[in-house]
Structure formats: structure tokens, C-alpha cells
Chain A
Amino acid sequence: MELLSNLQLGFGVALAGTNILYCFIGVLLGTLIGVLPGIGPVATIAMLLPATFVLPPVSALIMLAGIYYGASYGGSTTAILVNLPGEVSSVVTCLDGHQMAKQGHAGKALGVAALGSFFAGTVATLLVAAFAPPLAELALKFGPADYFSLMVLGLLAAVVLAHGSLIKAVAMIILGLLVGLIGTDVNSGVARYNFGLPELIDGVGIGPIAMGVFGFGEIIRNLEHGQKREVVSSRVTGLLPNWEDIKQSTWPTIRGTLLGSFLGILPGGGPILGSFSAYTLEKKLAKDPSRFGKGAIEGVAAPESANNAAAQTSFIPLLTLGIPSNPVMALMIGAMIIHGIQPGPQIMTAKPDLFWGMIASMWVGNFLLVVLNLPLIGMWVKLLSLEYRFLYPAILLFCCIGVYSINNAWMDVLLAAGFGFIGYLFGKLDCEAAPLLLGFVLGPMMEENLRRALLLSRGDPAVFVTRPISATLLVISVILLVIVLLPAIRQKREEAFVEEG
């Protein structure tokens, strides 16, 4: 019963007076900003990162995780009430959720989303607690060559599971890796790609990139398209679903949770893939698929549980391998490093309070979300009626202050503006930005492990195929690539993401 004692330790940390307070603040702030249309979890976390600097590392990470769940949940609220997904993972929630809202069942949709998410969060927390330790132990056996291959697999999987053009996503990863190399090379002390600027000697921070590409770039895009929003302005009542609704949404919730939990562990899977696949699955299983898109309650319950479950389980690769599976996790790695914690398998043994505290706080965070959101829904609805022309200057100002405060560096503000333009350009050219951020975080790690692996093998690249762990990982990568390039599967993959249309 090691698991129980570990969870006990975790809950001890998570429920300690100040930590539960920070979890609460995180969830509240996350929801508050997540509800605002046009700002997703990545920009939210990047913006609020400096606010956690004054805290001890455990509290800071608990608060950031809280911000993440809050922002995801807030995004769903926006999707249901305004038909404007705050983030990609709530795109499918728009389909049926907003239809329900239009028919006057907004409360029911929000209630089912909240309860489904809570159920999913509970299951996923248990899964993380059960699977993280054995994985971390396995990861401790990894040598540099294995790590390198693992990162290759992780990045490839991220591309395969993401939507959009495969080859462009690979190019974005490589670009991300390269941007990650800007700054001083640890081995030789040579400053690379700093163009003589002393401000770039430490490299480009993750804050300016995340804020620029996911914050500023997004704002420009929203502004140019003009604001066409249809807010369901009538009062939201009847949050609690009745017996009939519960019966209808129980199985979709369970299926969504399982599917989401599984997909969340995979690199690049995360909430987006979870919610899309859960929706498709429900539509396939339904007796009358034509109800979907017209306010089917299953169409809210399944994807909402799936994306919340996936949001939790995507912490598994982060906590055990130190590898981010989506942009939010990339940002969490950035936050850990800022707080002086090296992400990786050693966290579990070196900092058990942090490891288990974070896991327990996931459940606490989900519980707080339900408690918080059901009564506060009226306030969120009011927030939604804020006009975008007043909203975006405020977001810009918060982002400016946030990005400056990460390092007290004026250069970071300019970099963020530059990346804002780059993000806007990416959007015009249909280039998905998420792989860039993953590559960016993994760039230095990948170079370091490649160097070490080849140094140990005296330059012989065979080391990647002779070590069993590394060879297995590379074989999986190749299989993955082959599968995705097979015409039949390729078509299916495109179909899975067309569901939003």
C-alpha cells in the first residue's frame, strides 16, 4: 500500500493551509482569464508566471497547475455560452454545447461539463498516481542515447497526433529546436546566434515565445477578423442535470475519461486529441447520430471529460521523463527550471513532497473547480459580455508587465513583440505553432544527450540501435511514421480532425 502512503503525503502537502489557498487562487485566476474569449491556457500561464515567483516552488507549481485546469474549464464555459472556443480542445464542445445553450439548456450543459470534468479528473489523478512511479523508475535506467531516442519519439508522436500538415509540423519542430539553441553553448561557452547582443547570451526565454506566438499573435488575428459573437444573454438557470440527463451522460463520461486518459499520456496527444476522438466515438456509438450538432448532451459530456482527463494525464511524461507532451507542459518545464527544479525522473525520489503534492493538488484543483464554478457561473456570464475592444488592451498590458517581470529584461518585451509578428505570420501560412514550442524546450536537452551519447560511443552512431531501450524507441518512431504515411490511415487522421467543420 505504498500508493496510499504516497497519496497521503501528497494530500498532506496539497491541503496544507497556504498550498490549498494557492491552488484556489490559481483555479480562480485561471477560470477568470480562461473565460475571456481569445486567450488560451498557454498565454494565461505565461502571463501569470511572474505572479508565482514570490512563492516556494511547491506552491508555485500547484498554483500554475490550478491555473491550467481553471483556464481549460473556463474555455469550455466560453465555448458553450459564446460559441467561441477559448482553445482548440473546446472546439468540439461548441458544436453541441452552444446548441444546448441556444435551446435554453445552457445551465444543463455547463453542469454536465463540470460534473463530467470532475469525474474525469478524479480517475485521471488516480491513474497518474499509479503509473508515474514505475515509469519514473524505468526512466532512471535511461542513458543519453535512450533519452535522445525518446525525444525523437516524443516529437514525432506530437506531430503525428497533432492536426494539420505533417511535413510542416516537422519543419516547425526543427525550427523550434534551432531557436532553443540560441544563447551560450554549455560545452564550449560560445555564444550562438546572439548577433552580438549581450541580452541574448542567455538565450530566448520561453515566456516571450509563448506570450508572443500564443498571446500577441492571437490578438492580432482576433482583431482582423472582427468580433462576431453570439452571447446567450438570457440568465443561466438549472445547472444540475436531472435524472434523465445523468442516465444519458454517464457512459459517455466514462468512455470519454478512459479515452482521454490514454491519449493524454501520449506525447502530443493532450486534451485536443482527447476531446476530438471522444466526440467522434460517441457519434459512432449513438443510436441516432443525427442528434449530434443539434444539442446532444453526450456531445458535451464525452469531450469535456476527455479533455480534462487528458489534461491531467499529460503530466505523466512531464513528471517522469521531464518531457513535455504539449505546449502547456513545455511552459511548466520552463516554470520548474525558473524555480530551480530540474524536470526528470529524479523528481520523484529527490522531491517526493513536490511530486506527490502536485498529483494530489490535481484532485483538489478539480474539486475546487466544481465548487467554484457552479455558484460563480453568473459572474462568468457577465465577464463574457465585456467588449473585446476593452478586453484586448488590458490583456496586452498584463502580458507586457508579465513578460518583463520574468527576468526584468526589456529585451524580452521586444522579443515577445517580434514573436507576436512571427505567430501572426505562422497563422497566415497555416503553420501550427504548438510543435515549435515543444522543439524549443527540447532543443538544448536533445543536443546535450546527442553529444554525450556520441562521446561515449566515440562517434559511432550505432549506439542508438545497439542499446535495447533506444532501439525499441526508434523502432516505435519508425512504425509510427510508416503508419501515418499509409494512405488509408492518413485519410482517417484527416477525418478525425475535420469533425469541427
Chain B
Amino acid sequence: MKHLIKNPRDFWAGVMFFTLGALFAGVGFTYKIGTAARMGPGYFPLVLGLMLAAFGLAISLLAMREKNAGPVVEKFHWNVTFWVLFPIIIFGVGLKIMGMIFMGLMVVIVSSIASEQFKLRPVILLAIGLVIFCSIIFVGGLKLPIPLCPAFGVFEQLAACRV
């Protein structure tokens, strides 16, 4: 199998498009399709899904031709990916309960671990500085409705009064 794939990046891209296309078409099939004159909610997505799957298949097949040879897929850096995306997810889930002060400190500190030159002390200082900056600009100045620290109402009251 491996020697058949001349262009791994294209091949796996094709697999991705095929899978997604099939998924969209499959789910689209469960909606009402209708006719061309009276399209149901499933008509357009079904057509597009099938097209995407067909394109995916074509891309994968073309990737097996000698003349389309290309470089291998670079390896995934899972740890970097994790340390960047994990704090974002926690921020999303926890913002309403924990507030921006805690979640902001968390995002800055945890995401810093993704860097090769991680040092705790400057990162903590950076986190504190950024959280103060964001509280003043976004919550105080622009009045975006972001909870600062629901556990201690005092910050909310501070933000509510005119700065």
C-alpha cells in the first residue's frame, strides 16, 4: 500500500475530503430532499456532499500517479497542539463559572508550556499583566459583557461603575 501512494499529502487530503463528503451526504440524506423545483433542506447539502466525496476520491487516486509525486506528511506535534488548544477549551467551558480573571491567568500560563523556552516566573508576571490589561480595556472600557470573577461579586461591581 505504502509504495502506491506517491504523494502522501494529497492522498490523505483526498481521504479527508472523501470522509467529510460522505458524512455530509449521509446526514443530508436523512433530511427531506424534495425536487429541483421545490428543494427540501437536504437537496443542496446532499449534492455538495457527493461532489466533495467524488473530489476526495479523485485527489487520492491522482496521488498514486508517479508524476504527481510529493513530499511526506510532516509529523504532528501533539504536545504543542495540546498545550495550545487545551487551555482554549477550558476557557470556553469555564468562563461563565470561573470568570475572566482565573481563566485568563490559566490560558496564558498553560499555553506557555507549549514553548520550548518555558520559564514559570516571567510567564506568571505576563499573565497578571495581561489579565489586568484585558479587564481594563475589554470589560471596563469597551463594556463587553464578560464575567470577571463571579465568585467574588466585588469585581463585577467595579466593572459596572464608570471607568
Chain A residues in the interface with B (C-beta under 8 A):
50-51, 53-54, 165, 167-168, 170-171, 174-175, 177-178, 181, 185, 187-188, 190, 192-193, 216, 219-220, 223-224, 226, 387-390, 392-394, 396-401, 404-405, 408, 410-414, 416-417, 420-421, 424-425, 428-431, 446-447, 450-451, 454-455, 457-459, 461
Assess the A223–B87 pair: CB atoms within 8 A: no
Bound complex: CA A336 to CA B162 (Å): 29
Residues of A within 8 A of B24 (CB): 178, 193
Report the minimal beta-carbon distance from A465 to chain B, rounded to whole angstroms.
Answer: 15
Nearest opposing residue in chain B for A447, CB measure: B44
Residues of A within 8 A of B20 (CB): 175, 178
Residues of B within 8 A of A398 (CB): 134
Bound complex: CA A392 to CA B73 (Å): 25
Report the minimal beta-carbon distance from A192 to chain B, rounded to whole angstroms.
Answer: 6
Leading 3 A-B pairs by shortest Cβ distance: A413-B92, A459-B37, A459-B36
> Any chain A CB within 8 A of the CB of B16?
yes
The interface bits of chain B over 31-61 (1 if a CB of A lies within 8 angstroms of the residue's CB, else 0) are 1100111111100110011011001101100
Bound complex: CA A454 to CA B55 (Å): 25
Assess the B92–A411 pair: CB atoms within 8 A: yes
Assess the A224–B41 pair: CB atoms within 8 A: no
Assess the A389–B108 pair: CB atoms within 8 A: no
Nearest opposing residue in chain B for A52, CB measure: B142
Assess the B108–A178 pair: CB atoms within 8 A: no
> Any chain A CB within 8 A of the CB of B69?
no
State which of B13, B55, B107 has its C-beta within 8 Å of the C-beta of A393.
B107
Bound complex: CA A392 to CA B108 (Å): 9
Bound complex: CA A89 to CA B154 (Å): 48
State which of A175, A410, A414, A424 has its C-beta within 8 Å of the C-beta of B52.
A175
Q: Taking A397-B130, A429-B12 as contacts, is the C-beta distance between A404 and B146 under 8 angstroms? A: yes
Assess the B51–A174 pair: CB atoms within 8 A: yes
Residues of A within 8 A of B126 (CB): 390, 393-394
Assess the B114–A223 pair: CB atoms within 8 A: yes
Nearest opposing residue in chain A for B145, CB measure: A408
Q: Taking A401-B138, A417-B92, A429-B73 as contacts, is the C-beta distance between A455 and B38 under 8 angstroms? A: yes
Bound complex: CA A53 to CA B142 (Å): 9
Report the minimal beta-carbon distance from B12 to chain A, rounded to whole angstroms.
Answer: 6
Assess the B41–A413 pair: CB atoms within 8 A: no
Bound complex: CA A168 to CA B16 (Å): 11
Q: Is the interface of B mostly helix, strand, loop or mixed?
A: helix
Q: Taking A178-B24, A430-B9 as contacts, is the C-beta distance between A420 and B55 under 8 angstroms? A: no
Bound complex: CA A223 to CA B100 (Å): 25
Report the minimal beta-carbon distance from A63 to chain B, rounded to whole angstroms.
Answer: 12
Residues of B within 8 A of A224 (CB): 77, 80
Assess the B114–A451 pair: CB atoms within 8 A: no
Assess the B138–A417 pair: CB atoms within 8 A: no
Residues of B within 8 A of A393 (CB): 107-109, 111-112, 123, 126-127, 130
Report the minimal beta-carbon distance from A460 to chain B, rounded to whole angstroms.
Answer: 8
> Any chain A CB within 8 A of the CB of B85?
yes
Assess the A459–B35 pair: CB atoms within 8 A: yes
Residues of A within 8 A of B95 (CB): 404, 410, 413
Report the minimal beta-carbon distance from B38 to chain A, rounded to whole angstroms.
Answer: 7
Bound complex: CA A53 to CA B146 (Å): 14
Q: Taking A168-B10, A390-B122, A413-B92 as contacts, is the C-beta distance between A396 and B111 under 8 angstroms? A: yes
Nearest opposing residue in chain B for A444, CB measure: B44
Residues of B within 8 A of A413 (CB): 88-89, 91-92, 95
Residues of B within 8 A of A167 (CB): 55, 58-59, 62
Report the minimal beta-carbon distance from A435 to chain B, rounded to whole angstroms.
Answer: 12
Assess the A170–B77 pair: CB atoms within 8 A: no
Nearest opposing residue in chain B for A454, CB measure: B36
Report the minimal beta-carbon distance from A189 to chain B, rounded to whole angstroms.
Answer: 9
Q: Taking A174-B52, A410-B92, A413-B95 as contacts, is the C-beta distance between A401 and B144 under 8 angstroms? A: yes
For this complex, 28 residue pairs linking A to B, each with C-beta atoms less than 8 Å apart, are A53-B142, A168-B10, A168-B59, A171-B59, A181-B44, A185-B41, A190-B31, A190-B41, A192-B27, A216-B85, A216-B88, A224-B80, A389-B115, A393-B111, A394-B126, A396-B87, A399-B88, A400-B88, A413-B95, A414-B89, A417-B89, A421-B85, A429-B10, A429-B73, A430-B70, A446-B44, A447-B44, A459-B35
Residues of A within 8 A of B143 (CB): 54
Report the minimal beta-carbon distance from B47 to chain A, rounded to whole angstroms.
Answer: 9
Residues of B within 8 A of A387 (CB): 117
Nearest opposing residue in chain B for A170, CB measure: B55
Residues of B within 8 A of A399 (CB): 88
Extra contacts, 20 of them, besides A51-B138, A167-B55, A430-B9 (Cβ < 8 A), are A168-B10, A171-B17, A171-B59, A174-B48, A174-B52, A178-B20, A181-B44, A187-B39, A394-B130, A397-B107, A405-B145, A405-B146, A416-B88, A420-B84, A421-B81, A425-B16, A455-B37, A455-B38, A459-B37, A459-B38
